[in-house]
Structure 1
Amino acid sequence: MSICQGGWSALMWAAYKGRVEVARLLLEKGANPNITRQYSVYPIIWAAGRGHAEIVQLLLQHGAKVNCSDKKGDTALHIAIRGRSLKLAELLLRNPKDGHLLYRPSKEGETPYNIDCTHQKSTLTQIFGAKHLSPSECDSDMLGYDLYCSALADILSEPTMQPPICVGLYAQWGSGKSFLLKKLEDEMKTLAGQQVEPLFQFSWMVVVLTLLLCGSVALVLGLAVDTKLAIAVTLSLLTLL
């Protein structure tokens, strides 16, 4: 990929100027979506800063890093939330695994979540609905934990699975490993409860039919043999049932 005057690549210019077709052509021809030269700014940062959502989408489709940042430590999500761009924010948070970027601080300590909280009308609420987004709440849907737990629980609850089984979680401190394990445990208990069928279900119809059967046996035996014997046999049948 040739670099234009000033250290800009053709893809950088296309992202900055909003030239969608040029960007598409360059990416289809193998242009690096994560190339950076001038000011150490990536094409996705240029596109987000200028509000070019369609180019941001193209870059993401061709492997652009959603977690890259500029010299201030701002990611494209910082820029989208600061600019109140709902469309850009939705694109950047489409993958649940990227939810942690909401709490990634810039060099000035700002996170996209904190930036959103300073506005009266929340952009994030419009995306995720009216629910708590505080990292202390550890929102499982945003972090993609529901997806992970469901998949792991299905594997670990497989009847043919033989112990011992070891599951390892490797992540930085404070990333929610304990929360994920607890959620996995709850998911497996739910699956186990669904797989176990009750041994007996009470039914008045069964009781009535049982009494009728025993009564018929008692009547036949009482008429044919002995009343006391009939009562004894009936009680024995009821005990067995």
Structure 2
Amino acid sequence: MKPKAKKAVKKKVTPKTKVRSKKYQEARKKVDRKRLYSLPEAIKLAQETSISKFNGSIEVHLVVKETGLKGGIKFPHPTGKQTKIAIANEALLKKIEQGKIDFDLLLATPAMMPKLTKYAKILGPKGLMPNPKAGTITDKPEETAKKMAGKTQFKTEVKAPLIHLVIGQVNSKPQELEANFKILIETVGINKINKAIITSTMGPGIKVDLTSI
């Protein structure tokens, strides 16, 4: 009898654990993970725990109750980031086909929508496909673009109830960051939010007590 061939044993691949820098670890020690901080405390701590060599952003990450939330916010103070708005035309369609997407919001006329459907698989996962509910399908895209230009657009991730938004810079005045944070919560709707976290670029997350605002 021929000896039975040994079955190849697949080696288990252990995922690599992300190693944080010493600067991050030191900054993380300043934050109590279990604590909910008042808004002024959270902003102060986010600025103090910034570890980037450049003037980073102050970001807010919201865990909301459903996907599909989107809208525009007119912040009372500069955030350091502007929403890039594009209007669908033949030239832009060629760029999209080449994978060149350098905009945050896309407007289109009803007549252009049949041509855009070809790129739904590209634009849809990024949340960029125009739709009537968001007001991004319009007969007057140029006028709509001007109205939206002063606003920062927000939206949940396509498959997760998460919203990520910049509300200012590390060197922004604390009271300006507070005002921007409050208008964000008011616009999204505090009753639609489960959790709010403030962080600086590359810094640790700080949980905010929404009852403190």
**TM-score past 0.5 threshold:** no
TM-score (norm 1): 0.22
When you count helix as a share of all residues, which structure comes out higher?
Answer: 1
| Greater length-normalized contact order (CA 8 Å, ≥ 6 residues apart) | 2
When you count strand as a share of all residues, which structure comes out higher?
Answer: 2
